Amino acid sequence: MLNHADIFVSPRLERIARHIGCALLGADSETPPDRPRRGARPIIHVATQVFGIGGHTRMIWRWLEQDRAHTHIVALTRQGPEPLPRRLRAAAEASGGSLVRLDARPGSLIARARALRRLARTGEIVVLHINPYDIVPLIAFADRRNLPPIALLNHTDHLFGLGVSTADLYVNQRESGAQLALTRRGVADERLALLPIVVPQPSRSMQRSEAKRRLGLPPDSLLLLSIARAEKYVPLSGSRAYLNDLVLPHAALPVLHRFPQAHLFVVGPPHTGAWEAAAEATGGRVRAFGSRPDTALFYQAADVYLDSFPFTSITSLLEAGSYGTPLVGCFPYGAGARVLCADTPALRRTMIGATTSAEYHAAIERLLADAAYRAEMGALAAQGIARDHSGAGWQRWLSKTYSRALEVPAHDGSPPCDEYRQPSELDALLHDLYSGDGALDGLTAANVQLLPPGLRLRLWLELAQQTHRLRLRLLFPEWLASQILRLVARPA
């Protein structure tokens, strides 16, 4: 997302996509599918792109691993050259299903939509895990005849997105996302469902002391941990710059100065810039490790977990809390912007939330100073997460979601009648958090390979003039360029 447009849904865009889909992929020539007993057909999961790291892809493969009653097929609309995560492929194949790349064969987005529609008709339920801009499912499912129920997982609930007119069931991962879908996307209340993020129930492979030893920490150290993509720690600018006292690593420095045995480790950002400066200011007690997959070692070493800010990282919070680590986050906004905070069913009950830097420091310092309180809050987090986000507790949520999808009346495909433009504190915050000045060239480059040859060549020449770069790969259609790059790619 580049710039917030004060809307979370566009009836016009949804209407255009429906018109294209009905005109090109109508159901008139299809044979209506039979409807066998429940569970006899696979669950079809549709994602735009998947990665080896990140909560979005983890949600998909953990869903597959937790639901052993169904066969699962995962279809990718625009994976490109990105390596496929081994864990996702293994989960699909272990269920008796497969992973299908719709962009691996010649053809346009329409061809991908046609292939997706054919695949979807073999399923019991279709679950959309798509990026907010993915048009392929909207075209594929524009004509609602002969299709199974379609559920959209609202994993980008704080952003504008497509798909409201496609989903029979709008599945939210937290109450704030559901409330925003109701009030700002026009989703009817009877089409809303709740399915929390799923995390595995961990079993410690080592004691905290051993994990610290492996990370090079002294036995008496206290470890503050945070894990998120680097961009989730980028300081705010403009009218919200006063909140940067809550952005790591700066936010932790007063605590580190008062507790000489405390260390801050962060997985995600590289050890440069503010992180390097913080390390120098604390005698090396701040370290940023960049992106790496072995997060379990860090979770098992942590004494206190700190959420990222200004962007929360909910999956990392849940993973940390599942190990019995107390959780601290900050939410300096009003109630109308709760969708920007970590408010899943378990986190609302168990995470220590601060609204000011003083509260933030006090919460961390109390946890560091009081081992009994630290253990109490860690146990509370683990119990809450186990109840709603893991194992049998999460599977109950999933069973309810499947039942709702099969029972809810089919959506007629009509888009919302309104943009629900209601400027609020949330919109003002999103303007500050998201800005894309000068990024238009990047957007064009990212999508030019989807265009017909003549238009692709014209835009390529314009890009070359504007950027003074000759990127020859952009002349190839996306499916071909991706196939060439995949020849040298390795699985994630």
Q: List, edge to edge, every strand of the sheet that includes 72-76.
A: 98-101, 72-76, 43-47, 125-128, 150-154, 169-172, 192-194
| 193 and 297 inside one domain | no
Q: Is 418 a member of any domain?
A: no
pLDDT in the model for residue 434:
79
pTM of this structure: 0.91
| Integer Cα distance of 301 and 460 in angstroms | 50
pLDDT in the model for residue 26:
79
By residue range, what is the domain housing residue 480? 441-486
pLDDT in the model for residue 335:
86
**Pairing between β-strand 222-227 and β-strand 262-267 as defined by DSSP bridges:** parallel
| 52 and 161 inside one domain | yes
> In the block, which residue shows the tokens 């809050």?
377
Q: Is 417 a member of any domain?
A: no
pLDDT in the model for residue 97:
98
Q: Is 429 a member of any domain?
A: no
Give the pair of three-digit tokens for residue 141: 């499912």
| 175 and 248 inside one domain | no
Q: Is 372 a member of any domain?
A: yes
For residues 97 and 119, the answer to whether their CB atoms sit within 8 Å is: no
Of the candidates 213, 422, 200, 227, which has an alpha carbon nearest to the alpha carbon of residue 305? 227
| 154 and 220 inside one domain | no
CA distances from 30 to 21, 26, 82, 121, 414 (A): 14, 8, 34, 10, 21
| 190 and 174 inside one domain | yes
| 364 and 454 inside one domain | no
pLDDT in the model for residue 277:
98
Q: Is 93 a member of any domain?
A: yes
Of the candidates 149, 250, 154, which has an alpha carbon nearest to the alpha carbon of residue 195? 154
Give the pair of three-digit tokens for residue 265: 């480790």
Q: Is 343 a member of any domain?
A: yes
For residues 10 and 419, the answer to whether their CB atoms sit within 8 Å is: yes
Give the pair of three-digit tokens for residue 210: 């051993």
Q: Is 433 a member of any domain?
A: no
Number of independent structural domains in the chain: 3
**231 alpha carbon, distance to own chain's centre:** 14
| 66 and 133 inside one domain | yes
| 181 and 84 inside one domain | yes
Domain stops at, among 357, 389, 421: 389
Buried-state track 344-356, b at ≥16 Cβ within 10 A, e below 16: bbbbbebbbbbee
Peptide bond into 310 cis (omega under 30): yes
| 336 and 467 inside one domain | no
How is the chain split among helix, strand and coil, in percent rounded to 5? 45, 10, 45
pLDDT in the model for residue 491:
52
pLDDT in the model for residue 414:
87
**Pairing between β-strand 304-306 and β-strand 222-227 as defined by DSSP bridges:** parallel
| Integer Cα distance of 399 and 407 in angstroms | 12
| Residue 292: Cβ within 10 Å count | 12
Burial of 128: CB neighbours in 10 Å, binned 0-12, 13-18, 19+: buried
List phi, psi (to 5°) of 263: -130, 150
In the chain, which stretches have pLDDT less than 50?
438
| 142 and 215 inside one domain | no
| 378 and 458 inside one domain | no
| Integer Cα distance of 243 and 231 in angstroms | 16
Peptide bond into 332 cis (omega under 30): no
Of the candidates 141, 192, 95, 186, which has an alpha carbon nearest to the alpha carbon of residue 400? 192
| 220 and 182 inside one domain | no
Q: Residue 272 sits in a domain of what CATH number?
A: 3.40.50.2000
pLDDT in the model for residue 422:
86
